[in-house]
Structures are given as structure tokens and as C-alpha cells.
Amino acid sequence: MSDWLADIRAALRSLRKDRGSTAVAVAALGVGIAACATLFSVVDGVLLRPLPFPNLDRLVAIWKADPAQPDAWRFPAVANFLDWQAESKSF
């Protein structure tokens, strides 16, 4: 019998002897793997894949600046957006 097979059998015997530590180690590995898979899925969906819109080079965002707070950008009111849309010749 080779040395690595004897090592594996000894490791399995020690894991079987102390089941509490084995359960904690398996649970920690499971949580770690699940967290990594979740993080990769989020990064892949948000950062790596293109947005699901046709003509992405023509996509714009409209924000409203408050003169009292120049660093605060807000979404415009729907009525303002509709007015801008009706008056716009560029978009």
C-alpha cells in the first residue's frame, strides 16, 4: 500500500473520530464556497456582461442638479421629464 493511501485512510479515521470538528469544517467550507459563487455571480452580472439594451452607445441618463446643492444630483420629476422630452430636438 502506498504512503498517500495510508495518509488518506488515517485522515478519514481521525475525521470519523471527531465528528463535531468535521461538521464545523465542512460547514465553513460550504459557506465559503457559496459566498464566493454568489460574489462571482453578482460581479459577472453587474460588471462583466454588457447591459441588455440595444444601441448602448445611444443610452443616456437624465439628472437634475439643485443650484443650492451643486453636488446633489436627483431624478427629475415625471412632469419635468415629459416637458423636456416634448421640447427636445436632439434626442
For residues 53-72, average pLDDT: 81
Q: In 3-state terms, what secondary structure has residue 64?
A: strand
Write the DSSP symbol of residue 74: E
Q: Which of 15-19, 38-42, 71-75, 83-87 ranks highest by mean pLDDT?
A: 38-42
| pTM passes above 0.75 | no
Least confident of 26-35, 42-51, 52-61, 65-74: 65-74
For residues 48-71, average pLDDT: 82
Provide the pLDDT for residue 34: 98
CA distance 78 to 81: 5
CA distance 66 to 47: 30
